[in-house]
Amino acid sequence: MTYTVPKLKNYSAAALGKAAGKLVSALEQESAAVKNETVWKEFRDRWVGRKSGVLTQINELWLKAAPKEAKREVGQLVNELKKEVENTVELTLQRIRTGAAESRLTAERLDITLPGNHRPLGAEHPVIKTMNEIVSVFRNLGYSVEDGPVIETDYYNFEALNFPPNHPARDTQDTLFVANQESKPLRERLLLRTHTSPVQIRTMEKMKPPIRIVIPGKVHRNDPPDASHSPMFHQIEGLAVDTNITFGDLKGTLDHAMKALFGSSVKTSFRPSFFPFTEPSAEMLVSCFICGGSGKRGAEPCRPCKLTGWIEILGCGMVDPNVFEFVKHNGYDPQKISGFAFGMGADRIAILKYGVDDIQLFFNGDVRFLQQFA
Amino acid sequence: MKLSSQWVREFADLKVDNRQLADDLTAAGIAVEAIAGEGENTVFEMEIGTNRPDAMNHYGVAREAAAIYNLLLRPIAPKLPDPGSAAAFPIEIQDATGCVRFTARVACDVRVAPSATRIAQRLALIDQRPINNAVDATNYTLWEMGKPTHAFDLDLLEGGKIIVRRAMNGEKLKTLDGVERTLTSEDLVVADAKKPVALAGVMGGFDTMITEKTRNLLIESAWWDPVTIRKTSRRHGLHTDASHRFERGADFESTLLSCNRVMELILESGGGQLQGNVIDVVARRLDQAPVALHISEVHRILGQKLDTQVIYGILHRLGFELIPERGGEFDFTVRIPSWRLDVEREIDLIEEIARLYGYDKFPNTLPAFAGSVVEQADSKKDEKLRSSLLGLGYNEAVSLTFISHEDAETFSNAPVIELANPISEEASIMRTSMLPGMLNMLSYNLNRGTNDVRLFEMGSVFQDQKTGMPRELKRISLGRTSPSPQQGETWPTQLFFDLKGDVETLLHAFEHKTLSYDSHLAEYFHPGRAARVVMDGATVAQFGQVHSEIAAKRKLRQEAYVAELSLDQLYRHGLRQIRYEALPRYPAVERDFSFLFPNEIIFAKIEQGVLSLALSELRSFKPIEIFRGGKLPAGKYSILLRATFQSRERTLREDEVADWSKQIVKALEKLGGEQRA
């Protein structure tokens, strides 16, 4: 029941209107029946095809055949119908295209609740990460990073740090010694540095005051491995020397650093201690950043601070004048300059910070452990 | 070290409770680590620094407490009868270096028996085993006032005199612990006319000790040279309560007091009579020079302008004598009490002032600073490599720096640094390679069911040098284990190429002209699945599969791939400069070539053959697929190669691309390749 263009016998307004009405209703019917692009192409050709499309036909059969006096009116009508037809053909295409796209999108739908594909990132080692964090706090205070050898001489590890030969303070260091050194003078004998402090001397030998340095690095002691000991661990040392450094500056600097590291609410406390290379010497405590200083976690006792609300975190002090005597030639006259030094164990801080219960976990490369720090 | 709170309180009327006392002592540097027990059985667990032997006893701690609270300190004042007569026993100090002072008393008709309950309980409370009244008296005195003394059975001393001398080489002495010791000429001994009877300041002799049979005894209270005592103590591996105190420096002036105190306790408990007056031989005076104190120096170091009265008060309470110096160059001459051998300099006085004033009372300040932060030479390079590795999915690991002799031999031929006192044989060498540690970590993971492992470690290896400091060379190790094989792999051994790609990513961060791979490898690598990487003529890395024998020895249950980069070599190159290049505006043209090659024609040869054509618009030449086996003739493999052409100036013409393709085919055929249909 396809639409065919009739010849017009009557060019009255009523007859024209009726013919146009039939055409438009046929157009709408056919348009509605178009379901895909192939059918649409036939539809398009039948209505707007140049050779025998409906538009061409009404031009031929209606306009050209119209009497002169009706030409104007028929022309107008044909123009309107042309617009209508072209518009409908275009809209029909749009309609079926939208429909197709929609059904394709529906077919392509994924289960977005399935898990994502992970390309795992490597994790920073918790101790190195802790060291970097501490170093960056001091960098912001104007400290440069220095380093030095892990295998040291007795001179740098002990003598120049005011541990005289045969001094009992050497016993506290549990030193690992290099073999076959007996033929050398004591100060040249090699050992594994027991602290990062030798780098203080090495730096003061090469740089004049003022200096501000931090020294992250590995140290070794003769401690058989267990849950809280390791023969190798990491320290961060700090040294500031200038013409006007005071004990108050030592306290203020470390208090600032601890707040930067553990949060602005932590408090610090200093108590006297003994290190051969500092005088006065101190041990610094921070208010426990796990229990907030209360000694309790809910109803449970806080183990990291042993219920005291305080954690011993580092040793520090004013640089002993005897130490400056060893580098006096390079501008370190203890009468004119002063300084402070501090040292802390990075492994211990990482243990406290992350609640790790066995230091051995740091050094066996267990991916299940390391990935927790990703 | 344990101390009884009640015993401390005997010497000063402390108003504070034990908790407060512990806190205040700790704040002044006499650290109480823990409190145990209650009431009169309260025990303080003390942590006293090496420099404070004077506080390693009850009276010393009471002295500190009295100074803190500004209280009177009750003196120890033993009461002894006056026997009237002169010295009863000759004492000869032959070695004035080792023995500065020797004080002695003699008593007769003493009854040796268990101590009174009060004495025994006190000793037991601080973990000291009561033995008998005479020995306990010396022990009690040690813990009361910190001065070690010794009691001899007088009747077992031969020749009627005491000689302090160096031992003769090879001389024997059986010490109280029952061990017969062979002495050297450096050991200082207390001897009678015939034999050594005590290892001076360390331990008494077995043969002259107090027993139930003892009736007459001699009490020794001497002052020994700290270095001599320390050497002897270490030489004989004998660390005693006595040696601990002597090597840190005992109170020179307390020999007499302690000798009297011991005697008082013995006479109290065992009866007997004092035999003659005290014998006090001083070989030389100990020189404790007074120290000049400048108030300005106190201010310069501490940063707070403490009042002179405050400073005076603190030092005075601690037993220092301050003599004002009006109009002098300094403010006070300070005389040091005999029990404080650790105080020798002005800075030591400043510490005394600071610690008793209270560290926490000093205001926190920040120093001004005019310098600037200086970067470490290699810090950017370290950071680049580290962040790349993290991005590539490698977990950062840290392993111990020690390796075994066997690993040292397997993984390096560098001269090693060996430890004199290693933790164990397995850890007796400083690592010469990062790989033993990496392999340990890989097998640790595989043994725990983690099969897909990616680790890296940045660290140093150590090499001995004939003279001077050992070399410490920076390295990075990488470790990767094979993940379960995936479907449709293009390369036969994916893991090798995964690792090679990772290594290349790292190396391409550095400026270089040439990068080549060859098989000049260490023996611990699989000879066919590993490579040495040479950058501008220097070896910068080795990587590949671990040799099957090494893997078997380490019980690696999976193929393990490792790499080691020599950063000392690599860091001679700068980080790659970033250079902008305009993007191409004309389309690229690709051409594929499918060829059959004899196995010995490796890709490097194919690539070289094509690159030597020097086709100006050839942008890349890459293998796309490789196939071996199947229906291919034996000894040959099939490879699909892709050339990409692109010009910066114009769109390429069909005929010129065809011409280049022809040249490529010709070059490949020249190498022995057959083009496949």
- Examine residue A144 and state whether it is found in any structural domain, yes or no: yes
Mean pLDDT of B91-120: 94
pLDDT digits 0-9 by tens, A39-96? 999 999 999 988 888 989 888 888 888 888 888 888 898 899 999 999 999 999 999 8
Q: Which of A223, A270, A325, A358 is the best residue to mutate to test the B interface, defined by the most B CB atoms within 10 Å of its own CB?
A: A270
**Is residue B522 very low, low, confident or very high in pLDDT (cuts 50, 70, 90)?**
very high
B390 in reach of chain A (CB within 8 A): yes
- Clarify whether residues B409 and B519 are in a common domain: yes
Please give the pLDDT value at position B194.
94
Interatomic CA distance for residues A323 and A277, integer angstroms? 6
* Entry pTM: 0.86
Rounded to the nearest angstrom, the minimum Cα separation between B30 and chain A is 8
Mean pLDDT of chain A: 92
List the CATH number of the domain containing A303. Answer: 3.30.930.10
Three-class DSSP category at B214:
coil
- Clarify whether residues A187 and A302 are in a common domain: yes
Q: Please say if the pLDDT value at position B557 is more than 90.
A: no
Of the partner residues B29, B427, B450, the one whose CB lies closest to the CB of residue A271: B29
pLDDT digits 0-9 by tens, A279-325? 999 999 999 988 888 888 888 888 888 888 899 999 999 999 999 99
Domain containing residue B642: 589-675
The chain A residue lying nearest B299, using CA atoms, is A246
Within 44-83 of B, beta carbons closer than 8 Å to A belong to: 49-52
Please give the pLDDT value at position B118.
93
Mean pLDDT of B401-420: 95
Please give the pLDDT value at position A13.
84
Q: Please say if the pLDDT value at position B87 is more than 80.
A: no
Q: Please say if the pLDDT value at position B503 is more than 50.
A: yes
pLDDT digits 0-9 by tens, B525-547? 999 999 999 999 999 999 999 99
- Clarify whether residues A164 and A224 are in a common domain: yes
B419 in reach of chain A (CB within 8 A): yes
The 3-state DSSP composition of chain B as helix, strand, coil percent (nearest 5) reads: 30, 25, 45
Maximum CA pair distance of chain A? 134
Of the three residues A107, A137, A169, the one that is the final residue of a domain is A107
Q: Please say if the pLDDT value at position B401 is more than 70.
A: yes
Q: Please say if the pLDDT value at position B489 is more than 50.
A: no
Of the three residues B264, B282, B300, the one that is the final residue of a domain is B282
Of the partner residues B369, B396, B427, the one whose CB lies closest to the CB of residue A122: B396
Closest to B572 (Cα-Cα) out of B350, B441, B427, B377: B377
Number of domains comprising chain A: 2
Please give the pLDDT value at position B487.
42
B301 in reach of chain A (CB within 8 A): yes
Q: What residues pair up with A178 in beta bridges, in sequence order? A: B419
Rounded to the nearest angstrom, the minimum Cα separation between B36 and chain A is 15
**Does residue B78 have a cis peptide bond before it, meaning omega lies within 30 degrees of 0?**
no
* Partner-chain contact A368 B469, CB within 8 Å: no
* Partner-chain contact A145 B376, CB within 8 Å: yes
Of the partner residues B360, B371, B427, the one whose CB lies closest to the CB of residue A212: B371
- Examine residue B370 and state whether it is found in any structural domain, yes or no: no
Q: Beta-carbon neighbour count of residue B491 at 10 Å?
A: 12
Mean pLDDT of B288-312: 95
- Clarify whether residues A311 and A190 are in a common domain: yes
B329 in reach of chain A (CB within 8 A): no
- Clarify whether residues A184 and A309 are in a common domain: yes
CB-CB neighbors (< 8 A) of A281 in chain B: 351
Interatomic CA distance for residues B19 and B2, integer angstroms? 15
Mean pLDDT of B311-315: 96
Domain containing residue A273: 126-373
The chain A residue lying nearest B23, using CA atoms, is A271
Of the partner residues B302, B391, B459, the one whose CB lies closest to the CB of residue A246: B302
- Clarify whether residues B639 and B498 are in a common domain: no
Please give the pLDDT value at position B523.
93
The chain B residue lying nearest A145, using CA atoms, is B376
Please give the pLDDT value at position A3.
84
CB-CB neighbors (< 8 A) of B438 in chain A: 365
Cβ atoms of A54 and A42 closer than 8 Å: no
pLDDT digits 0-9 by tens, A316-355? 999 999 999 999 999 999 999 999 999 999 999 999 989 8
| DSSP code string of B415-446 | PPPBBSS-S-GGG-EE-S-SHHHHHHHHHHHH
**Is residue B388 very low, low, confident or very high in pLDDT (cuts 50, 70, 90)?**
very high
Number of H helices, E strands in chain A: 11, 11
Please give the pLDDT value at position B486.
52
Q: Which two tokens stand for residue B438?
A: 């990496």
- Examine residue B369 and state whether it is found in any structural domain, yes or no: no
Of the partner residues B367, B444, B472, the one whose CB lies closest to the CB of residue A245: B367
Cα first-last separation, chain A: 72
- Clarify whether residues A209 and A318 are in a common domain: yes
CB-CB neighbors (< 8 A) of B395 in chain A: 122-123, 125, 365, 367, 370-371, 374
Three-class DSSP category at A69:
helix
The chain B residue lying nearest A363, using CA atoms, is B399
Q: Are strands A190-192 and A151-153 parallel, antiparallel or unpaired?
A: antiparallel
Q: Beta-carbon neighbour count of residue A168 at 10 Å?
A: 19
Q: Which two tokens stand for residue A108?
A: 């392509």
- Clarify whether residues B142 and B25 are in a common domain: no
- Clarify whether residues A344 and A252 are in a common domain: yes
* Partner-chain contact A272 B304, CB within 8 Å: no
Query: Which CA distances in Å does B73 have to A194, B44, B260, B365?
Result: 41, 20, 19, 37
User: Looking at per-residue confidence, does A305 or B57 come out higher?
Assistant: B57
Rounded to the nearest angstrom, the minimum Cα separation between A284 and chain B is 10
**Is residue B17 very low, low, confident or very high in pLDDT (cuts 50, 70, 90)?**
very high
- Clarify whether residues B132 and B276 are in a common domain: yes
Q: How would you classify residue B670: left for phi > 0, otherwise alpha for psi between -120 and 50, otherwise beta? A: alpha
Please give the pLDDT value at position B54.
95
Interatomic CA distance for residues A252 and A245, integer angstroms? 11
* Partner-chain contact A272 B300, CB within 8 Å: no
Can you say how many angstroms the Cα of residue B413 is from the centroid of all Cα atoms in its chain? Answer: 28
Three-class DSSP category at A122:
coil
- Clarify whether residues A257 and A304 are in a common domain: yes
Interatomic CA distance for residues B600 and B635, integer angstroms? 8
Please give the pLDDT value at position B488.
44
Q: At what angle do helices A71-107 and A13-33 cross, to 10 degrees?
A: 10
B441 in reach of chain A (CB within 8 A): yes
Highest mean pLDDT among A12-16, B158-162, B258-262: B258-262
Q: Which two tokens stand for residue B674?
A: 């057959």
Mean pLDDT of A118-134: 93
CB-CB neighbors (< 8 A) of B389 in chain A: 122
Q: At what angle do helices B295-302 and A247-262 cross, to 10 degrees?
A: 10
- Clarify whether residues B297 and B257 are in a common domain: no
- Examine residue B119 and state whether it is found in any structural domain, yes or no: yes
B375 in reach of chain A (CB within 8 A): yes
Q: Are strands B454-463 and B395-396 parallel, antiparallel or unpaired?
A: parallel
Cα first-last separation, chain B: 90
Of the partner residues A142, A179, A247, the one whose CB lies closest to the CB of residue B362: A247
Q: Which two tokens stand for residue B458?
A: 């940045």
Mean pLDDT of chain B: 93
Number of domains comprising chain B: 5
Cβ atoms of A284 and A270 closer than 8 Å: yes
pLDDT digits 0-9 by tens, B637-666? 999 999 999 999 999 999 999 999 999 999
Chains A, B: CB pairs < 8 Å: 241
Of the partner residues A122, A320, A362, the one whose CB lies closest to the CB of residue B398: A362
CB-CB neighbors (< 8 A) of B358 in chain A: none
List the CATH number of the domain containing B316. Answer: 3.30.56.10
- Clarify whether residues B610 and B560 are in a common domain: no
- Clarify whether residues B605 and B548 are in a common domain: no
Can you say how many angstroms the Cα of residue A374 is from the centroid of all Cα atoms in its chain? Answer: 10
Closest to A191 (Cα-Cα) out of B231, B430, B434, B413: B430
Contacts 24+ apart (CB under 8 A), B136-143: B136/B265, B137/B262, B137/B263, B137/B265, B137/B266, B137/B269, B138/B219, B138/B262, B140/B265, B141/B258, B141/B261, B141/B262, B141/B265, B142/B57, B142/B241, B142/B242, B142/B245, B143/B3, B143/B7, B143/B57, B143/B58
- Clarify whether residues B356 and B383 are in a common domain: no
Of the partner residues B364, B370, B375, the one whose CB lies closest to the CB of residue A251: B364
- Clarify whether residues A270 and A165 are in a common domain: yes
Q: Please say if the pLDDT value at position A147 is more than 50.
A: yes
Rounded to the nearest angstrom, the minimum Cα separation between A46 and chain B is 43
Q: Please say if the pLDDT value at position B326 is more than 90.
A: no
- Clarify whether residues B186 and B217 are in a common domain: yes
* Partner-chain contact B390 A124, CB within 8 Å: yes
**Burial group, residue B455, by CB count within 10 angstroms (0-12, 13-18, 19+):** buried
The chain A residue lying nearest B356, using CA atoms, is A272
What is the ipTM for the molecules in this complex?
Answer: 0.88
Cβ atoms of A347 and A362 closer than 8 Å: yes
Rounded to the nearest angstrom, the minimum Cα separation between B407 and chain A is 17
- Clarify whether residues B507 and B641 are in a common domain: no
Mean pLDDT of B194-212: 95
- Clarify whether residues B432 and B344 are in a common domain: no
> Which DSSP letter does residue A277 get?
T
- Clarify whether residues A136 and A28 are in a common domain: no
Instruction: Of A16-20, B330-334, B560-564, give the lowest mean pLDDT range.
Output: A16-20
Q: Please say if the pLDDT value at position B4 is more than 50.
A: yes
CB-CB neighbors (< 8 A) of A218 in chain B: 401, 459
Cβ atoms of B105 and B219 closer than 8 Å: yes
CB-CB neighbors (< 8 A) of B394 in chain A: 122
- Clarify whether residues A185 and A58 are in a common domain: no
Mean pLDDT of A190-197: 96
Percentage above 70 pLDDT, chain B: 98
Q: Please say if the pLDDT value at position B473 is more than 50.
A: yes
- Clarify whether residues B114 and B50 are in a common domain: no
pLDDT digits 0-9 by tens, B616-628? 899 999 999 888 8
Mean pLDDT of B581-593: 93
B487 in reach of chain A (CB within 8 A): no
Q: CA torsion B17→B23→B28→B34, rounded to 10°?
A: 110
CB-CB neighbors (< 8 A) of A338 in chain B: 300-301
Closest to B112 (Cα-Cα) out of B60, B163, B153: B153
Cβ atoms of A153 and A188 closer than 8 Å: yes
The chain B residue lying nearest A242, using CA atoms, is B369
* Partner-chain contact B366 A210, CB within 8 Å: no
